[in-house]
Structures are given as structure tokens and as C-alpha cells.
Amino acid sequence: MAIQDIYPTALRLLGRPVLVVGGGPVATRRAKGLLDAGARVTVVAPLASAGLEELADAGLITWEQRTYRTSDVDGAWFVQTATGDSVVDARVSADAEAQRIWCVNASDHEASAAWTPAVAVVDDVQIAVNAGGDPRRAMALRDAVATALETGDLPLRRQRAHRGSVALVGGGPGDTGLITVRGRRLLGQADVVVADRLGPRELLNELAPDVRVIEVGKTPGHHPVPQAEINRILVEEALAGHRVVRLKGGDPYVLGRGGEEAEFCRQHGVEVEVVSGVTSAISVPAAAGIPVTHRGLAKGFSVVTGHEELSEVPARADHTIVLLMGVGQLRESAAALAAAGLPQDTPVGIVENGYLPNQRVTIGTVGSIADQAEATGVANPAVIVIGDVVRVSPFAPSHFKTADYSTTTPNQPRVLTK
């Protein structure tokens, strides 16, 4: 039987009697799949696998513990034979053919009246792949298609009317490879994308032509679309029946006002999902080789914006401080930390445009960093890291690396020997 002779279709077997002949692994898999489809399954086999016995003991299938009889196919809507004996399988197939009942013959795919495809389910989409009777090939293709759907490389977007919803998706620090699989999938399903200026902007170019992109990006001190208007847009579009993705940089719940947007949606009866993202507070320093914690250097960290008071943040070099949106007030922030007792020689690193081709790293100290930033023209988007962890960065100057902070001897700086 050639693949051209196949007419692809799907069977609705809910409540309908089906027959499985055989009790081995293949018969077990097929019986479970038929149960999932809601069929009334009868298994005929002298011996059955432990899995089939459990199903029978639970009353989910009927097990006839004997050899096959021709009358077993009577009244069945569908038959699966998988005895491992080609002679028995051929007999079952012939009996089903005589009664015009579709039968899958596991022993001989060429002689089989029907084939069972390799199946995967992604959201409410079912993928079924036939590959010329080659089950391993079919499974490999099924897995590849399922992965492409899950990662958003293939569209899952509905084309018919559906209930509107909002997904707050953290897009990560900007690199398209750092958005989560779930976030990428939801983006591929979106009818409307409400986008910030940060995050994986290149993914917007991959959207279908009829997906609307609403730009609401903010810059420090310039909010052309106020938060209240963003909230209104999300609810209005969802209530119009659209799937809305609010694509944000970093994580929507880390200084991203995602909590406000989620609360507003729920107050107006809109279903909302929050998809965490790779926050720039941790990932951007990592792009410059700076860990926010490191044994022997720092056990904890605080994340604040440059607009926040720093008086309550621990002013110690062994407690990492991560400043977001802090370039404009860097001089004031450094002075406030110094006044709170943070030593002037505490290392500071600034990472601009993390993970992007124009990434730039500037490293100095609490006492020098403001002048360095002004001299080199440091600008947002940038993440500022303050603390001894900056010493670990490969971009740190050599005089910062006077000690090897060992990870094998926690909390014990080991002086390097020359």
C-alpha cells in the first residue's frame, strides 16, 4: 500500500465498541490510546501485559482471556490486531475485511486496511503522522513538528472566533533565544501584541502579517502611553475576542508592572496568564560574566531601580546590589551608598545592551563609576551591579583580581601566588 492510497481522517470512537487482539506492548499502547479516545475496548488474548491487567482490574477494559474467534469482530467499529503472530493477525484482518470493519494489522502494514499514525497533542491541536508504514520515521517527524509548534516556529494561532485572553509574557533581556518555550508559543498564537521597546524585538518580524502590534514602549522620563492606557488596551482587545500577548522585556513581575496589568484584567473579567521571563537583573550581569551571588563573595542580592531610595539596602560589598534603569541617577545612587557606609573602592560594573551585538561593559568603583559613565557616554538600557561579585567578571581590570575566591573552599579568599 502506497502513501498515495491513504485518505487521512480522524475517527470519533467515543462510546463505540472496538476490539484489540493481542496482549503485548503494542496492544497495550493501542488499547490505552483507544481508551483516551473514549472507546469501549475489548481485548482478546490468552496472556496480557501488566498494564492491560491493571486496566481490566479497574474495569476500564474487558479482557477475554483466550484465543481469538471469528465472532469477536461482530459489532466492532474498529479492530487493532497485535498478537505478534502474523498468521493470527492476518486471520483477524480478513474477518474484519469481510464485515467491512476497518482493521490495523500490526504484523503487515502493506496488507493492513488502516494505519495508526504517530500522534502528539499540543494545546488543542492533534498531530498525526504517517510515514509510509515506517513507525520510527513517523515518530521522528511527529516529534519535530510538535517541537516546532511548542517553540512557536509553527503557528498555533486560531483563525476562527474564540474567547479573548491576555498573556503577560516575559521576553527576557533581548536575545531571541532567551524567551521561554511557553512565551514563544503564545506569541505564535497571538492576534494582538502589545510590545515594549525592550525584549526580543526581532520576534515581531516573524508574526503573521495580520497580527496587530501596538507599541507602548517607555524610556526613562518619557511614557508616551501611560500605564492606565496600556491596561485599557489589554482589556479592550481581549473583550473584543482577541488573544493578546503583552510582550515585555525581562520578567513581567520584576519591576515590570505586570502585577498591575494582571489585576486590572481580572477585575474586568479577562482571563490572564503570566509567563515568567529571564529577568535582566540576573541575566544581563551574567552576559558580562558577573554572578549576582558567588561563594566567598556574596550570599544575597537586592534589585532596585535607580529611582528608589537605597537607604534600606545593605551597604556591604558582600551583598550585591543590582540597579535597573539607574543610569540617570548613578551619581546620586553611588553617593547615597557611600554615605550609608559602602566603601568607595567597592567594584561596580555597568552592562549596556546585554546579549546584543553592541553590548558594552564598564567597570569601576563606587568612587569612580559616575565619572567613568559620563566620560564614555553610558546610556540605557543598562544594568548596574555593585559589589565584590564584579571581581569575577573577565572584563574586570587585573588589579581587581588580587584574590582567587575559591568555590571549593567556601567563604575563604585564597591569595594568588606569583
Annotated catalytic sites, by residue?
Answer: 196, 218
Q: Which of 305, 354, 301, 303 is nearest to 329 (CA)?
A: 305
- DSSP H or E stretch at residue 129: strand 125-129
The CA distance from 338 to 308, in Å, is 16
Q: Residues of 400-412 as b/e, b for ≥16 C-beta within 10 angstroms? A: beeeebeeeeeee
Distances from the Cα of 326 to the Cαs of 69, 317, 352, 388, in angstroms? 79, 19, 12, 19
Q: 79: burial class by Cβ within 10 Å (0-12, 13-18, 19+)?
A: buried
Say which residue the cell 591569595 belongs to.
Answer: 415
Alpha helices in 190-272 (DSSP H): 227-239, 258-267
Q: Is 73 helix (H, G, I), strand (E, B) or coil?
A: helix
**Beta-carbon-side half-sphere exposure of residue 81 (alpha carbons within 13 Å):** 32
